[in-house]
Copies of this chain bind each other. A is one copy, B any other.
Amino acid sequence: MTNAASASSTGSAPTWPVNAWYVACTPDEIEGKPLGRQICGEHMVFFRNGEGNVAALEDFCPHRGAPLSLGFIQDGALVCGYHGLAMGCNGRTVGMPGQRVKGFPPIRTYPVVERYGFIWVWPGDAEAADPAKLRHLPWAQNDEWAFGGGLYHVACDYRLMIDNLMDLTHENYVHASSIGQKEIDEAPVKTRIEGDEIVTSRFMDGIMAPPFWQMALRGAGLPDQQLVDRWQICRFSLPSSVLIEVGVALAGHGGHEADNAHKASAMVVDFMTPETTTSHWYFWGLARRFAVQDAALTNTIREGQTKIFAEDLEMLERQQRNLELHPERRLLLLNIDAGGVRSRMLIDQAIAAGQAGQAPADQRSVAAV
């Protein structure tokens, strides 16, 4: 256990792969108006053009430097709210009252894809942007699943959130009153590589469900006071998502492998999009396989997650500041930290390789912690 890693990972050098797809926003955020958002250090503006396609541009009007995100959409162009320059999706000015705009310098564009209910942006080399590199989200286009989610701005390095999600022992302390239970500490955790993913799993058999899962069992039409088998399977993949298979099955039906009729299962969805080296956008949600028609349940769960994930924010933001205060301190790397440690190794390799979205060739050489 006494290996150690430097706490100084919170410096100001870019700490993310740029050649990768990141969640930029959700469709409702660009409904009828542009959205300005800093992503991977870049100030971007997102908007939907006349054909309904999403574009991402530098948030900088070439006329006088006003933020284009303060403007409005007209005839499919993004019109600057200061003097009326109309900017097209391709970063070229399409018009301006009383001006010939042909010679106006273009502004930078960023590749964008809309899929799975999110707008994705590629902040790096546009040539390398391939929608096929987007991670497949099995639950997003499937009627057997229902999804609800939200967005938090978090003032910490996005990798601290990855650490958080790849080590769910924190549930017992940060979320003691909702999803924590002592069996989490007691169940052994295993970390392994599975294809392009780092996978950390924990199985707790024959336990009582904690409050959140009792609610889920009731939502699924199952008894909430019987013994259950519970599982948590955290899957990190580049550049910065963690999808967590979670659920409980009535004891004796096969646990994670049980038939749908005997379990309440779901996928915790976490996309961390760096804003700066010390802040990120946290897109979170839950995709569930039970009671998928029940919109009221979707809201109830979203409200529950809103509270639970808020409990992490103070801890993470204070951890960030503490690490900044002590850049020389080295942290412990315990078995429970293996998921985060290996995920960071993938990130470092992707930064070094200048690319992400596909696993580096040597990822299987990552030593076991």
Contact = CB atoms under 8 A, between A and B. Distances in A.
Interface string A65-92: 1110011000000011111100000000
Given A83-B169, A173-B82, A336-B98, A318 B64 contact: no
A173 B318 contact: no
A168 B70 CA distance: 18
A43 B325 contact: yes
Nearest to A93: B332
A60 interface: yes
Contact of A104 (B80, B103, B326, B332): B332
A185 interface: yes
A270 interface: no
A165 interface: no
A331 interface: yes
Given A83-B170, A83-B173, A185-B84, A66 B318 contact: yes
A319 B66 contact: yes
A336 B101 CA distance: 13
Contacts of A81: 173-174, 315
Copies held by the complex: 3
Interface in A38-60: 43, 59-60
Given A169-B83, A173-B81, A322 B65 contact: yes
A322 B84 contact: no
B65 A331 contact: yes
A218 interface: no
Interface in A157-179: 163, 167, 169-170, 172-174
A186 interface: yes
Chain A interface bracket (under 10, 10 to 19, 20 to 34, 35 or more): 35 or more
Contact of A63 (B70, B79, B331): B331
Contact of A83 (B65, B71, B167, B188): B167
A335 B100 CA distance: 11
A326 B41 CA distance: 12
B7 A65 contact: yes
Interface in A241-286: none
Interface string A332-349: 101111000000000000
7 contacts: A2-B103, A60-B326, A63-B331, A65-B323, A70-B315, A82-B174, A99-B335
3 cross-chain pairs, A with B, having the tightest CB-CB distances, nearest first = A97-B185, A2-B103, A66-B319
Given A43-B322, A82-B315, A84-B172, 18 more contacts: A1-B99, A60-B322, A62-B331, A63-B331, A64-B319, A64-B331, A64-B332, A65-B319, A65-B322, A65-B331, A67-B319, A81-B173, A81-B315, A82-B174, A83-B167, A97-B185, A97-B186, A98-B335
Interface of A: 1-2, 7, 43, 59-60, 62-67, 70-71, 79-84, 96-100, 103-105, 163, 167, 169-170, 172-174, 185-186, 188, 314-315, 318-319, 322-323, 325-326, 329, 331-332, 334-337
